[in-house]
Amino acid sequence: MTLRLLFDDIRSTIQKICNNLGYPQTEFDVSEASRPEFGDVSCNIGFLLAKSLKKRPSEIAESIANEYKKDKGKLVTEVNAHSSGYLNFTANYPLLTKSVIQSSVQENYGQIDIGKNSKIVVEHTSVNPNKALHVGHVRNIIIGDTMARILQKACYDVRVLNYVDDSGLQVADIIVGFRYGGFSREPPKGQKFDHYCGDVVYVNITERYETDTTLAEKRSLILKELEGGLSDTAKFGDEITRRVLEEQLKTCWRLGVTYDCLNFESQIVRSKLWKDVFEKMKSMGMIELEKEGKNEDCWVIRTESEDDKVLVRSDGTATYIAKDIPYAAWKLGIADDPFYYKQYGTQRDGRILWETTLENTGTKLNFTGDAVITVIDSRQSRLQKIITKIMSDFKSKEGAYVHLGYESVTLSADTAKTLNLDTGGKSIQMSGRKGIYVNADYVLDILGVKTYEEAKKRNPDLNEVKLVQISEQVAIGALRYSMIKQDLDKIITFDMTESLSLEGDTGPYVQYAYARAIRILEKGGKAPNFDVSFNDLKTSYETSLAKTIGKFDIEVKDAAKNLSPKIIARYCYDLAVTFNAFYEHVKVLTAESEALVNARLCLVYSFKETLSKSLYLLGINAPERM
Binding region for RNA (CB under 7 A) out of 14-22, 167-175, 278-286, 362-370: 167-175
Binding region for RNA (CB under 7 A) out of 108-116, 326-334, 395-403, 496-504: 496-504
Would you give the binding string for RNA spanning residues 502-531, x where CB under 7 A is met?
xxxx--xx--x--xx--xx--x--------
Nearest-angstrom CA–CA distance, 333 and 374: 15
Q: What would you report as the CA-atom Rg of the chain, rounded to the nearest whole angstrom? A: 28
Among 205, 234, 474, 537, binds RNA (CB under 7 A): 474
When the beta carbons of 37 and 186 are compared against RNA, the nearer one is: 37
When the beta carbons of 167 and 206 are compared against RNA, the nearer one is: 167
Contact 545, 551 (CB under 8 A): no
Contact 126, 148 (CB under 8 A): no
When the beta carbons of 258 and 482 are compared against RNA, the nearer one is: 482
Nearest distance, CB of residue 220 and RNA, angstroms: 9
Among 10, 14, 48, 277, binds RNA (CB under 7 A): 48
When the beta carbons of 280 and 516 are compared against RNA, the nearer one is: 516
Nearest distance, CB of residue 47 and RNA, angstroms: 3
Q: Which residues ranging from 225 to 284 are in contact with RNA (CB under 7 A)?
A: none
Among 185, 235, 364, 490, binds RNA (CB under 7 A): 490
Contact 596, 536 (CB under 8 A): yes
Nearest distance, CB of residue 107 and RNA, angstroms: 26
When the beta carbons of 397 and 587 are compared against RNA, the nearer one is: 587
Nearest-angstrom CA–CA distance, 520 and 580: 13
Nearest-angstrom CA–CA distance, 486 and 191: 33
Helix (H, G, I), strand (E, B) or coil at 151: helix
What are the start-end ranges of the E strands in 200-322?
261-264, 287-289, 299-301, 309-312
- 15-19 contacts, C-beta under 8 A, 24 or more apart: 17/64, 17/67, 17/68, 18/45, 18/49, 18/64
Would you give the binding string for RNA spanning residues 54-83, x where CB under 7 A is met?
---x------------------------x-
Distance, CA of 420 to chain centre:
33
Helix (H, G, I), strand (E, B) or coil at 219: helix
Would you give the binding string for RNA spanning residues 9-28, x where CB under 7 A is met?
--------------------
Would you give the binding string for RNA spanning residues 299-338, x where CB under 7 A is met?
------xxx--x--xxx---xxx-x---------------
SS (H, E, C) 376-429: CCHHHHHHHHHHHHHHHHHHCCCCCEEEECCCCEEECHHHHHHCCCCCCCCCEE
**Closest by Cα among 418, 407, 476 to 443:** 476
Among 51, 116, 189, 526, binds RNA (CB under 7 A): 51
Nearest-angstrom CA–CA distance, 143 and 480: 9
Give, rounded to a whole angstrom, the gap between the first and last alpha carbons of the chain.
33
Relative to beta strand 309-312, strand 119-123 is unpaired
When the beta carbons of 161 and 517 are compared against RNA, the nearer one is: 517
Among 169, 446, 468, 532, binds RNA (CB under 7 A): 169
When the beta carbons of 393 and 558 are compared against RNA, the nearer one is: 558
**Closest by Cα among 5, 54, 52 to 25:** 52
Among 113, 217, 279, 296, binds RNA (CB under 7 A): 296
Element (H, E) at 343: strand 340-346
Q: Which residues ranging from 329 to 388 are in contact with RNA (CB under 7 A)?
A: 378-383
Nearest distance, CB of residue 133 and RNA, angstroms: 17
Would you give the binding string for RNA spanning residues 79-118, x where CB under 7 A is met?
---x-xxx-x------------------------------
For the chain, helix (H) and strand (E) counts, in that order, are 23, 17
**Closest by Cα among 258, 621, 625, 257 to 475:** 621
- 455-464 contacts, C-beta under 8 A, 24 or more apart: 455/625, 455/626, 458/626, 459/625, 459/626, 462/625
**Closest by Cα among 256, 320, 242, 349 to 618:** 256
Among 2, 295, 543, 544, binds RNA (CB under 7 A): 295
Q: Which residues ranging from 118 to 157 are in contact with RNA (CB under 7 A)?
A: 128
Nearest distance, CB of residue 452 and RNA, angstroms: 8
Nearest distance, CB of residue 437 and RNA, angstroms: 15
Q: Which residues ranging from 426 to 465 are in contact with RNA (CB under 7 A)?
A: 426, 429, 451, 454-455, 458-459
Nearest distance, CB of residue 450 and RNA, angstroms: 8
Binding region for RNA (CB under 7 A) out of 31-39, 231-239, 274-282, 434-442: 31-39
Binding region for RNA (CB under 7 A) out of 100-108, 255-263, 393-401, 487-495: 487-495
User: For residue 89, what are the β-bridge partners?
Assistant: 41, 79
Q: Which residues ranging from 578 to 607 are in contact with RNA (CB under 7 A)?
A: 580-581, 583-590
Nearest distance, CB of residue 463 and RNA, angstroms: 15
When the beta carbons of 90 and 231 are compared against RNA, the nearer one is: 90
Among 5, 50, 114, 365, binds RNA (CB under 7 A): 50
When the beta carbons of 451 and 614 are compared against RNA, the nearer one is: 451
Asked if 213 interacts with RNA (CB under 7 A), we say no
Nearest-angstrom CA–CA distance, 36 and 82: 14
Site size for RNA (CB under 7 A): 97
When the beta carbons of 71 and 227 are compared against RNA, the nearer one is: 227
When the beta carbons of 275 and 585 are compared against RNA, the nearer one is: 585
Nearest-angstrom CA–CA distance, 582 and 588: 10
Integer angstrom CA distances of residue 541 from 133, 554, 575, 578, 585: 43, 21, 12, 7, 8
- Write phi, then psi, for 352 (nearest 5 degrees): -80, 135
Nearest distance, CB of residue 191 and RNA, angstroms: 25
